[in-house]
Structure 1
Amino acid sequence: MSFQHKELPDQILLEECRRDSRLAYEALFDRYTPRLYKFGLKYLHDSQTTEELVMDLMLWVWNKRHSIDLKTEFSAYIFRAMRNSVISHLRKKVLETTPIDLLLNELAFSGKPADQDLEYKETESLYLEKLALLSPQRQKVFRMSREENMSYREIAQSMNLSVNTVENYMAASLAFFRTNLKEYTDIPTLILLAFLLGT
């Protein structure tokens, strides 16, 4: 990979990927793989599984390079995709290790069909609904921390805030989520909330 590619912004690299540039793809790969790995490992605590999820995701980016239609920054897009991969893995793990009678009770109690994708869309919708109740500044800080895996120091520098202010924003946001979501105890919600609100 050339130095020139390493310095190009994501959008230009994506455009070159659509023209089948391997150099552009390698630049994106090198730029995001370590950060995605760190992000996944934070929640999975399993280096091999995390590496597999990252490799699968980056392979998917190459295979879908002609059809990826971004409505946001690539960094937000790729971390959201990694977040979804981790959630999917955690869901599968929980379903494999949770006693079947507990799962059956959960389904019976909820009265919903066993449509996991629908459940997760509903759960994420709930999360986004609560997130929208935060102030714009706190929303941005929370997303940068949880969705882009930025450190408090990185967030502070990006937003021209003190690290202490970022810490206070995050503490207040986490307390808000825990208070406003504590009545939701179904398995899909618990998995998603453990992922989003975990430290």
Structure 2
Amino acid sequence: MSDTKEIFLLNVRLKEGDHNAFMEVYEKYNRGIYHFIKKFIQDTDTIDDIIHDAFLNLWKYRSNIKNNLSLQAYLYRISRNIIFKHLKEKIRSAEAILETSSDNQFFDNSPSADYSLESSEYDKIYELAIGQLPPQRKRIFLMSREEGLSYKEIADHLKISPNTVKEHMSLAMKTIREYIAKDHGIIYALLFLYTLGR
């Protein structure tokens, strides 16, 4: 059976509430999700909590899964949202401590510096931000961040050089950073990019 057909059938079974399918998904992807989260968070207990929440969300909203959806990309996005929320809470905690200092210049206290956005708003901002990219750059960005392909794999697929892919990714990150910073402040933009892996 081809990988594409296997994924399709696994998605169908998961949507139908098949617990065995859920366990197959967990066994297939939990290790990769663990290493993805570890790029941003080192505490093992926190990592385990995020993995638990990610798969819990997958099960809870399984009826929304499209049959041709990459479960790996879906789990990465869920995990990224949870990481983003966790890091926001750390920023707010640090801000609460620092705001008593008269020389606190690090945090942007302007009305545009909103660190309280929920994951659904994160997704909305994410979609709007990548929507600013030219078609080819957007495609390269999604292949890297959503499909997890290396620059070489993207280059081979699109028949371009790895350096061209790297340049597109650098420009994509710059566009996204500037777009988000304009409305939400530079700290928010940097945090957002951090959860994208750069």
Of residues 56-65 and 175-184 in structure 1, the stretch that sits farther from structure 2 once superposed is 175-184
Shift of 1:192: 1.6
Alpha-carbon distance change, 171 to 64 in structure 1, aligned in 2, over 3 angstroms: closer
Query: Aligned AA for 2:18?
Result: S
Q: Residue 97 of structure 1 corresponds to which residue in structure 2?
A: 94
Q: Residue 39 of structure 1 corresponds to which residue in structure 2?
A: 36
Alpha-carbon distance change, 109 to 101 in structure 1, aligned in 2, over 3 angstroms: farther
Q: Residue 84 of structure 1 corresponds to which residue in structure 2?
A: 81
Shift of 1:126: 4.5
Q: Residue 195 of structure 1 corresponds to which residue in structure 2?
A: 195
The CA deviation string for residues 13-50 of structure 1, in whole angstroms up to 9 with x for no partner, is 12112344333222211222122222222222444422
Gaps of 5+ in 1: none
* Contact kept in structure 1, 2:84 and 2:192, CA below 8 Å: yes
Q: Residue 22 of structure 1 corresponds to which residue in structure 2?
A: 19
Alignment partners' CA distance in 2, 1:73 and 1:170 = 24
Alignment partners' CA distance in 2, 1:7 and 1:108 = 48
* Contact kept in structure 1, 2:8 and 2:67, CA below 8 Å: no
- The percent of aligned pairs where both chains have the same amino acid is 26
Structure with higher RCO (Cα < 8 A, 6+ apart) = 2
Report the count of equivalent residues.
Answer: 191
Shift of 1:84: 0.7
- What SS class does the counterpart of residue 40 from structure 2 fall into? helix
Q: Residue 109 of structure 1 corresponds to which residue in structure 2?
A: 110
